Amino acid sequence: MDFDALGNCLTSAGCAGPRLLGGLASAAVIYLVASGLSLVFGVMGVLNFAHGSLYMLGAYLGYTLASVFGGGTGFLAVLTALFVAPLLVALIGGVIEVGFLRRIYGRDLLYQLLLTFSFILIINGAIEKIYGPQFMSSPVPSVLSGTVSVFGQPFPVYQLFLIAVAVAVGLGLTVFIKRSKYGTILRATAEDQDMARALGVNVPRVWTFVFMAGAGLGGLGGSLAGPLRSLFPGMDLDVVVQAFLVVVIGGLGSLPGAALGAVLVGLFRAFGVIVAPGLELVFIYILVVIVLIVRPRGLAGREVG
């Protein structure tokens, strides 16, 4: 392990600055996916193993819509990535929740795991059938292409865009949940669904909304990650593992924890590759083990029970 190289990088603005932003850009995508996973678990108590597949759906739908309506590189490509693809994934999430998940609420957790795992297989199979098994790439929209100078080093504009979107989504979610009437209903439902039902809250409708919002966040992460990563059936595995690591570090059901966990994972990947190229994920797993030993509920999670 080359810790001297890490020390040299940290003392050089030209090395540390771009790597810091690169880590935050990676964290932005992970945060969008993990926040949806955490939101669903926090309100509904559902651990959605198919969340990574919804991310993959977002990536492929973003690619398709951008190719059809925006020529793949124009302003419409950005709009479809931001709004249309996530909305379509949210609608698919609504179908999954209403048509399938709703039928097994109250049953053993194993039913949830088996059902959501089956959707991994279904979505992967559908993607491979429609798009084929080959790797595909989505172009960076022309309006967000190019680089800017960061500490004297070129840095992609698109990655700065990802950071800005993640910050905007995080602030929007916080304001919505903490300040809005519907956010109050969400928090009340998460605390005690029986009491919320007794007060007249339509809990099934709230859960459908939450699951759709979580699916949409996963789809948003996928559609925005498309220009950065290769698209292929099975691309969901890597991101869903990272999303689960993020929520374990930050705390299951905690949106601030998801943000904190995503930043830590992004930075560990960005700087860990300097110390041990190809083994940077090992540092993240070590961090997870330490968090589980020292603070099992996560850095920002609440005590249960």
Residues 303 and 107: their CA atoms lie apart, in Å, by 24
> pLDDT-derived band of residue 305, with 50, 70 and 90 as boundaries?
very low
Arithmetic mean of pLDDT over the chain: 88
| Alpha carbon of residue 302 to chain centroid | 21
SS3 assignment, position 146: coil
For residue range 147-197, list pLDDT tens digits in order. Answer: 998 878 888 999 999 999 999 999 999 999 999 999 899 989 888 888 888
Sign of the C-alpha dihedral computed for residues 265, 271, 275 and 279 taken in this order: positive
The mean per-residue pLDDT over the stretch 274-295 comes to: 86
Bridge partner residues of 136 (DSSP): 231
DSSP assignments along 179-202, one per residue: HSHHHHHHHHHHH-HHHHHHTT--
Residue 171's pLDDT is 95
Reference 33, options 261, 297, 300; nearest CA is: 261
For residue range 63-97, list pLDDT tens digits in order. Answer: 898 888 755 566 777 778 888 999 999 999 999 99
For residue range 232-254, list pLDDT tens digits in order. Answer: 998 988 888 889 999 999 988 78
SS3 assignment, position 50: coil
For residue range 85-132, list pLDDT tens digits in order. Answer: 999 999 999 999 999 999 988 888 889 889 999 999 999 999 999 999
Helices (H), the chain: 3-10, 13-44, 51-69, 75-79, 85-99, 109-131, 157-179, 181-191, 193-198, 203-225, 236-250, 255-275, 280-294
Q: How many angstroms separate the Cα of 157 from the Cα of each of 142, 143, 162, 169, 287?
A: 10, 9, 9, 18, 30
> pLDDT-derived band of residue 2, with 50, 70 and 90 as boundaries?
confident
Q: Count Cβ atoms below 10 Å from residue 111 Cβ, excluding itself.
A: 14
For residue range 31-50, list pLDDT tens digits in order. Answer: 999 999 999 988 888 888 99
Higher confidence at residue 64 or residue 7?
Answer: 64
- The one-letter code for the residue type at 296 is P
Predicted TM-score (pTM) of this structure: 0.91
The mean per-residue pLDDT over the stretch 128-150 comes to: 87
Residues 155 and 9: their CA atoms lie apart, in Å, by 16
> pLDDT-derived band of residue 10, with 50, 70 and 90 as boundaries?
confident
Higher confidence at residue 57 or residue 108?
Answer: 57
Residue 70's pLDDT is 59
SS3 assignment, position 73: coil
Q: Is 148 exposed, middle or buried (0-12, 13-18, 19+ CB in 10 A)?
A: exposed
